[in-house]
Amino acid sequence: MSDLHHVVPDRFPAHRFSHLLPSLDRHRVTTSDILTLDAVDLAKRAQVPVAELRKLHHAIVTALHADLGLASLEFAEPDATNQPDAWHATEWRTISTLDDRLDAELGGGVPAGYLTEITGESGAGKTQFLLTLLFSAQLPAPHGLSKSALYISTEAPLATTRLAQLLSQHPRLSNLPAATKPSLSRILSIQTPDLESQDHILRYQLPVAIQRHNVGLVVLDSVAANYRAEFDRAGGEKNRTDGGSHGHARRAGEAMAQRTQQLVQLGALLRSVARAHGVAVVVANQVSDRFSSSSSAPAPSSSSSNPTTTTTSRNPSHASASSQQAATTTSRAPTPTTTPPPRLALALSPDPLTLDHQQRWFTGWGDDVRASSSNSSTSSHNLKTPALGLVWANQIAARVALLKAPVYGRAAADWPGGGGGGGSVDARTGTGAGAGAGGGGDVSRWRRWMKVVFAPWAGPSEGRGVEYVIRGSGVVAVATAVAEEKQKEKERRAREASERAVELGGGGGGGGGDAGTEKAAEEARGGEEPLPDRQGGDGGGGGGGGDDIPAGDERGPRDNRRRSSDEPIGRE
């Protein structure tokens, strides 16, 4: 039961079961054993009363339910220490990404009171997401919490220049009044260069800073950096001093066990901070390449199971007759598809209980059936796995994966659609197929997606999720960016049309000028292509233009319809 204080909340009444815990510790009974195994068997094993063990089981289940917000703590005593958990009874509060489509994919945003992870490879935009959350946490509901933000960095310091750029260029932030506009002064930052300082800051300084500065968002960027540096360096030094293979395996096992224990403690600490203070804790995580054994399994070949081809190659005298017969058979009936025998198919299929098969549904890579079944070279060789393994995946409440894929071609593609200059793009996976006729295999740009892997408040994303781009104004979904570009283009056309109408109205008189004004107005209302010139539209002379179609001619509703270039313009 040594793990009881790391699994259950801090307010668990362990003193009520102090007479059971020593016996359970001696017989190595864990909290997981109490929750999963039969109480009678455990009572015989630990030599404790069955009724008392069942009371302990009920208390642990109640505490875990309260930790998830599913029930209140019935055994909690009404005192002042219970007040920080009052946020469980309040309304659902989230922090927005300042993009409606990204928020919809996240189920409303990043919720308060939970530990959320944002993972992705280098250059996917993890830090850009986190910087946006630092500002949106300061906004009032429903976009934020009206509180400050705390940024804990384990690698590079806080990018204040980028924050200033976001604040000045983001359309929602730059147009806010000064009273409600976020500021850099409400963003606290601290750097942790190693695990010792990180544990001290999170355990002692973080709760004080949350209460003193009214913090609503805690960001840790990134959670894996110090663990990788600490344990990789320690493992390398120990391997040099101990040259034996058995010693190397023993050292590696000890390091993994120590890291597992520290990860469990870190996850419990961050969850307790999020629950006790009602803050949103968001951590960034790195990824590593995944080398799956299933990808190297040989696929059954159709030629190896075709006895006709083998017989023909062994009998040269009947080659012509066999070829004619094969050609006739092929022309009359389709080629039969060969399937491997049931035993071979079972041997080639992945074991559903292995980690290689199951990790595709909680890592964020490999669960897209369409991408994995395509012929793209990047679909099966670009698999990633979030760092810190399965132990850390069990500590977080939600995981958001940021995916990216290259688009090949010499010329940069027109944003935000199309493929590159010379390379082709797979329509299903969105990745380049390599060097094209003139592409040369150069990466012209990158496509990025945000994908919800698992979250209790939102369902998993379909396919690759929501595609987004990174601008000077922040992270924007592609659909939102396209809508903004169309709106800007529409405003530009309307402005040019109004200027042209003023020029045409001032330069000509009579009917011709009116017709030119009408044409400019229709260009402003129309779609992407302007209408063809009408007779007398230029009407620049002294009222002589517009003889075929008078300026005062009324055409009715058909006048607003777009005409093709070969459609007659005269009266009907």
Q: How far apart are CA 145 and CA 281, in angstroms?
A: 13
pLDDT, residue 408, reads 86
The Cα 436–Cα 425 span in angstroms is: 10
Q: What is the spatial distance between Cα 11 and Cα 272, in angstroms, rounded to a whole number?
A: 10
* pLDDT of residue 31 exceeding 80: yes
Neighbours of 223 (CB within 10 A): 26
Give the pLDDT band of residue 270 (cuts 50, 70, 90): very high
| CA 114 – CA 68 distance, rounded (Å) | 9
Tens digit of each residue's pLDDT (9 = 90 or more) over 131-160: 999 999 999 999 999 999 999 999 889 999
pLDDT of residue 355: 73
pLDDT tens digits, one per residue of 8-27 = 776 778 888 888 888 888 88
**Which residue, 447, 444, 445, is CA-closest to 468?**
447
Task: Report whether pLDDT(377) > 90.
Answer: no
Other CB atoms within 10 A of residue 35 CB: 12
**pTM of whole model > 0.85?**
no
Q: Is the pLDDT of residue 522 over 60?
A: no
Distance CA 523, CA 287 (A): 51
Distances, alpha carbon 361 to alpha carbons 358, 388, 450, in Å:
6, 16, 15
Residues 259-269: what's their mean pLDDT? 93
Q: Is 207 helix (H, G, I), strand (E, B) or coil?
A: helix
pLDDT of amino acid 245: 63
Least confident of 42-46, 90-94, 486-490, 516-520: 516-520
- If pLDDT is split at 50, 70 and 90, which confidence band does 484 have? confident
521 vs 304, residue with greater confidence: 521
Q: Average pLDDT for residues 418-435, to the nearest whole number?
A: 42
Is the model's pLDDT at 468 over the cut of 90? yes
pLDDT tens, residue by residue, 320-353: 444 444 444 444 444 555 565 666 555 556 677 7
What is the arithmetic mean of pLDDT over 386-410? 90
Does residue 106 sit in helix, strand or coil? coil
Please compute the mean of the pLDDT values over residues 418-445 and round it to a whole number: 49
Average pLDDT over residues 388-415: 82
Q: Is there a contact between 251 and 238 (Cβ–Cβ < 8 Å)?
A: yes
Quick check: 83 pLDDT over 50? no
Cis peptide preceding 222, ω within 30 of 0: yes
As a whole-number percent, the residues of the chain with pLDDT over 70 amount to 62
Say yes or no to pLDDT of 260 above 60. yes
- Helix then strand count (H, E) for the chain reads 22, 13
Average pLDDT over residues 68-72: 62
Q: Is the pLDDT of residue 216 over 60?
A: yes
DSSP-derived 3-state class of residue 450? strand
Domain boundaries, the chain: 4-82, 91-286, 495-560
pLDDT over threshold 70, residue 233? no
Q: Which of 138-147, 394-403, 430-439, 471-480 has the lowest mean pLDDT?
A: 430-439
d(CA 48, CA 33): 14
Q: What is the mean pLDDT of the chain?
A: 74
Is the model more confident about 249 or about 62?
62
What CA–CA distance (Å, rounded) separates 138 from 148?
Answer: 6
Report the C-alpha gap between 170 and 189 in whole angstroms: 22
Q: What's the pLDDT at 467?
A: 94
Q: Mean pLDDT, to the nearest integer, of 220-242?
A: 71
- Determine the topology of domain 91-286 in CATH: Rossmann fold (3.40.50)
> Strands 115-120 and 187-191, how do they pair?
unpaired
Identify the burial level of 345 via C-beta atoms within 10 angstroms of its C-beta, where 0-12 means exposed, 13-18 middle and 19 or more buried.
exposed
- 389 has pLDDT over 50: yes
Burial pattern 491-512, b for ≥16 Cβ within 10 A else e, equals eebeeebeebbeebeeebbbbb
pLDDT in tens, 171-213: 999 999 988 899 999 999 999 999 999 999 999 999 999 999 9
Distance CA 132, CA 78 (A): 39
Q: Which one is predicted more confidently, 140 or 522?
A: 140
User: What is the percent of the chain where pLDDT is above 90?
Assistant: 33
Q: Is the pLDDT of residue 471 over 80?
A: yes
Contact status, residue 129 vs residue 137, Cβ threshold 8 Å: no
Residue 541: the pLDDT is 41
Q: 217 with 133: CB under 8 angstroms? A: yes
